[in-house]
Chain A
């Protein structure tokens, strides 16, 4: 990844090629235990919300961080997502936003950010992010309406090296299922019925 962010923030191993160092990557945060570690490291105010919001993500490992190029279902992905990591980093989260893409430009995209650290439930900032800050893997997934998580903090490797990090991870959202529409229909029926009476 040609990421100015990564370079600026002192990450030296975040290239697409770095995925070959899979299990040894101290910066990898895609599996459940690591996400829970991330949640525990969050400021207390926003912690419970994070855990409840991400229950389905945690259980399916749907958070993929920008430096993770392993396609879903590949051997790499299985290693990363299903096997327990032997060197789980314990990130110290200083700031976390949830963002959603509102507009695509030629070289950048615009997003609205909700400050999860402050416990907000609606966006309070707009940001313009160059595509160069996003891995080529994630870039294809950026569409208007897609949702990502942006974390700034510290991470300590098993060897004790402390690194300042800034990571943007796009979420693989669950697919619309028949059951979603069934639930939607039941809700609509219930509300419409109450209006009749």
Chain B
């Protein structure tokens, strides 16, 4: 991987500034194309965590690129890596991150390490039938790498402390997994069981519409304040978290809105029982096929709950005529009238920093990121 890429985020002079010694940071990176989400967290003086991943236009995990941009060596400082789930837009590049960070602890849903699921991963990815990597092939790489290292993953279960580290003096950064619940775990195994029994069915690429939704929501506790990172967890998962009596106490001042702001991930109880009034909300838009999140209705609903909401893109990149290096190819495609949309695009960045013992959050946006109120669905 090369040096930092100034063009990556825009506003170079500001984005390059590293946090001060006593500053906590959580940064949401989202693809402008609406197909990629990654979170970078400062979890210690010289220690960082990465939650999910996608690749930039140079095929480098954006989290690593971002850390380089602020002058942090990713290889020596990433100590915790989380895959909230295995979908393509959340997992691309996690194997690269782990490969270059030998000391990093990997965390994923316990269900993903069940033998039934791993057998399916091995059956589909052991002999790849497609050039394009998938979420499952990324997991296959990650698990193979951890196998080589003899390093077992940290297993995310409801209300489990998955990471703990001294941040600065007496401040500890603690990360709790809140999901997937036992019920989700069971449903997931039933789905996998059905897949396993599909012997003699044609191989196909499992895409995220397949019903394997088990997402790891995280609770990050820094003593004075807390964050709720919602992953892509949908409503049923949130209902189960709210019913749990063992979940960490307190009210978070920041929420990473679950599932790109979709209605099916919105549980009003979360806003009442787990968040401070009018928290800072951040989200990464999503787009695939005809689907776009958040919709204008979603934006209204979120802004009705908090005015302090930010998105990693002000709009989703639309389809356009393609321009290829080869003129004949470009001409052929133009004649066909078929439009394309770039999936790899520059990331937008929402960065939140605050001193450990001082109450004000410093909110910065870079690239196409901005306030949710300005977002054009």
Q: Any chain A CB within 8 A of the CB of B129?
A: yes
Over the window 160-197 of chain A, the binary record of Cβ atoms lying under 8 Å from chain B Cβ atoms (1 yes, 0 no) is 00001010000011111110110111111111101111
Does A184 contact B120, Cβ atoms closer than 8 Å?
yes
Q: Any chain B CB within 8 A of the CB of A22?
A: no
Does B200 contact A177, Cβ atoms closer than 8 Å?
yes
Does B150 contact A129, Cβ atoms closer than 8 Å?
no
Known: A98-B131, A100-B207, A176-B203. A185 touches B198 (CB 8 A): no
What chain B residues lie within 8 Å of A180 (beta carbons)? 123-124, 126-127, 203
* Contact-size category for B: 35 or more
Known: A125-B341, A147-B129. A192 touches B203 (CB 8 A): no
Q: Any chain A CB within 8 A of the CB of B336?
A: yes
Q: Any chain B CB within 8 A of the CB of A82?
A: no
Over the window 323-338 of chain B, the binary record of Cβ atoms lying under 8 Å from chain A Cβ atoms (1 yes, 0 no) is 0101011001101111
CB distance from A73 to the nearest CB of B (A): 16
* Contact-size category for A: 35 or more
Does A173 contact B129, Cβ atoms closer than 8 Å?
yes
Considering the complex, which residues of chain B in the window 314-364 have a beta carbon less than 8 Å from any beta carbon of chain A?
Answer: 319, 322, 324, 326, 328-329, 332-333, 335-344
Which stretch, A33-41, A64-72, A110-118, touches the partner chain B? A110-118
Q: Any chain B CB within 8 A of the CB of A123?
A: yes
Q: Any chain A CB within 8 A of the CB of B110?
A: no
Q: Any chain A CB within 8 A of the CB of B256?
A: no
Known: A145-B207, A184-B124. A110 touches B118 (CB 8 A): no
List the B residue with the shortest CB-CB distance to A196.
B152
Known: A103-B291, A110-B289, A181-B196. A144 touches B209 (CB 8 A): yes
What chain A residues lie within 8 Å of B332 (beta carbons)? 8-9, 152, 164, 166
What chain A residues lie within 8 Å of B336 (beta carbons)? 4-5, 8-9, 133, 166
CB distance from A189 to the nearest CB of B (A): 8
- For B118, give its contact among A94, A120, A164, A191 (CB under 8 Å): A191
Q: Any chain A CB within 8 A of the CB of B75?
A: no
Known: A114-B131, A183-B126. A95 touches B200 (CB 8 A): no
Does B342 contact A122, Cβ atoms closer than 8 Å?
no
Over the window 125-158 of chain B, the binary record of Cβ atoms lying under 8 Å from chain A Cβ atoms (1 yes, 0 no) is 0111111110000000001101110111100000
Q: Any chain A CB within 8 A of the CB of B263?
A: no
List the B residue with the shortest CB-CB distance to A49.
B131
List the A residue with the shortest CB-CB distance to B331.
A164
What chain B residues lie within 8 Å of A133 (beta carbons)? 336, 338
List the B residue with the shortest CB-CB distance to A113.
B340
Q: Any chain B CB within 8 A of the CB of A102?
A: yes
CB distance from B68 to the nearest CB of A (A): 21
Does A175 contact B203, Cβ atoms closer than 8 Å?
yes
Q: Which of B290, B338, B339 has the most CB of A within 10 A?
A: B338
Q: Any chain B CB within 8 A of the CB of A121?
A: yes
Q: Within the assembled complex, what's the spacing in Å between the Cα atoms of A185 and B114?
A: 11
List the A residue with the shortest CB-CB distance to B291.
A103
Q: Within the assembled complex, what's the spacing in Å between the Cα atoms of A191 and B113?
A: 10
List the A residue with the shortest CB-CB distance to B319.
A128
Q: Any chain A CB within 8 A of the CB of B257?
A: no
Q: Within the assembled complex, what's the spacing in Å between the Cα atoms of A48 and B229?
A: 43
What chain A residues lie within 8 Å of B333 (beta carbons)? 152
Q: Any chain B CB within 8 A of the CB of A146?
A: yes
Q: Within the assembled complex, what's the spacing in Å between the Cα atoms of A194 and B291?
A: 41
Does A191 contact B123, Cβ atoms closer than 8 Å?
no
Q: Within the assembled complex, what's the spacing in Å between the Cα atoms of A126 and B292?
A: 14
Does A194 contact B290, Cβ atoms closer than 8 Å?
no
Q: Any chain A CB within 8 A of the CB of B122?
A: yes
Listed A/B pairs (12) with beta-carbon separation below 8 Å? A8-B335, A116-B131, A121-B133, A123-B132, A128-B338, A152-B328, A175-B202, A180-B126, A181-B199, A185-B123, A187-B122, A191-B144
Given contacts A126-B343, A152-B333, A176-B202, 18 further A-B contacts (CB under 8 A): A98-B132, A100-B130, A102-B207, A124-B344, A125-B341, A126-B33, A126-B342, A152-B328, A152-B332, A172-B202, A173-B203, A175-B203, A184-B120, A188-B115, A188-B122, A191-B118, A192-B118, A194-B148
